[in-house]
Amino acid sequence: MAKRDEFERARVRAVHRKETEPYAVDARYDRRQRRIVVQLNTGLLVVFAPGMVEGLQDARPRDLGEIEISPSGFGLHFPKIDADIYLPGLLSGDLGSRRWMAAQLGQRGGAARSAVKAAAARANGKLGGRPRKREAA
């Protein structure tokens, strides 16, 4: 009986969520813009570059042409690359796992150029540059 009650509570939560949260009604890849376009039930269009989302960052345009929307409308599936996106997460800015997102931020920070960073690099160069890595004994 407990499993039946648990199932019923989950069903009620799903119905409530679909009544109160936006969900996908259409999704496509726009080759000209190189963007994924998701239309929500509210009429809002969500447009994003595949490289911004974990699992899609290395996808080729031909891999993105087919997008399946889950029955709930909260999931997008890309069958050619077996990648999934959870729409509520995407809408809240969660574009991947914490580890992946931290790596993306680290890459951007490491690639940043500023006068302060350039001055620090010049000063380090005058001291002989970055120390050589020691080989493991």
Q: What is the pLDDT of residues 77-122, one digit of tens each?
A: 999 999 999 888 888 776 665 665 566 556 655 555 777 777 777 7
> What CATH number does the domain containing 79 carry?
3.30.2020.40
Rounded CA gap, 59 and 26, in Å? 20
- Give the H or E element holding residue 65: none
What DSSP designation does 131 have?
Answer: P
What DSSP designation does 117 have?
Answer: H
Rounded CA gap, 27 and 89, in Å? 16
Domain count of the chain?
2
26 & 85 share domain: yes
CB atoms within 10 A of CB 13: 10
14 & 67 share domain: yes
110 & 67 share domain: no
18 & 53 share domain: yes
pLDDT per residue over 26-78, tens digit each? 999 999 999 999 999 999 999 999 988 888 988 999 999 999 999 989 999 99
136: in domain:
no
Token pair belonging to 69: 């929307």
Sign of CA dihedral 123, 126, 127, 132: positive
pLDDT at 54: 83
Domain that holds residue 112: 97-129
112 & 53 share domain: no
Residue 64: partners with Cβ closer than 8 Å, 6 or more residues away: 29, 36, 50, 56, 78, 80
Query: Full-prediction pTM beyond 0.85?
Result: no
120 & 68 share domain: no
pLDDT at 44: 93
pLDDT per residue over 10-34, tens digit each? 888 878 887 888 999 999 999 999 9
